[in-house]
Amino acid sequence: MALAPGGQNADLSKAIHVAEDAFFLMEFCIVRRMPSYKNYGHWGLTRVPSSVWEDVLIAVGELEERLAGARGPADISFEGMNASTLLAAFNANFQLTRTAALGLLREISQLTGCWARDHEAVFVLGI
């Protein structure tokens, strides 16, 4: 999976690549804020207007808060087609997975938040 800023087209020279399993963490935040993504977004190119991406980042922030406050896998839940994959990772090693997930979500939020302020859109490039 990749994320890139842009206007009418993605600026692939600035794209960041995220492993698919890691991307699952935030994917349901996109689906919640942009329902049309759920049809084929994971497999295609989706232009997310910056105003919508800012809403996505609010949902990501809420996810970060839930993860930070969780004491174990029973305290978290995920939505979407790969919720069971995410839960299995958290069950296998909760502390390590939570720490890595929080770091990833924060880094993606910081970088793409700048893109949303400086560009018309953020693009999600699927597999």
Indicate yes or no: pTM above 0.75: yes
At 76, is the pLDDT very low, low, confident or very high (cuts 50, 70, 90)? confident
Query: How far separated are the first and last CA of the chain, in Å rounded?
Result: 6
Which residue segment(s) compose the domain that 11 sits in? 2-125
Apex 67 CA angle, 29 and 82, nearest 5? 50
- The predicted-structure confidence for 26-51, as pLDDT tens digits, reads as follows 988 998 899 888 777 788 899 999 99
Query: Residue 85: what pLDDT?
Result: 85
Total domains in the fold of the chain: 1
**43's tokens:** 């497999």
- Considering just the CA atoms, what is the radius of gyration of the chain in Å? 14
Cα–Cα distance measured from residue 96 to residue 8, given in angstroms and rounded to the nearest whole number: 39
At 77, is the pLDDT very low, low, confident or very high (cuts 50, 70, 90)? confident
User: Residue 55, SS3?
Assistant: helix
Average pLDDT over residues 95-124: 95
At 78, is the pLDDT very low, low, confident or very high (cuts 50, 70, 90)? confident
Name the more confident of 42 and 91.
91
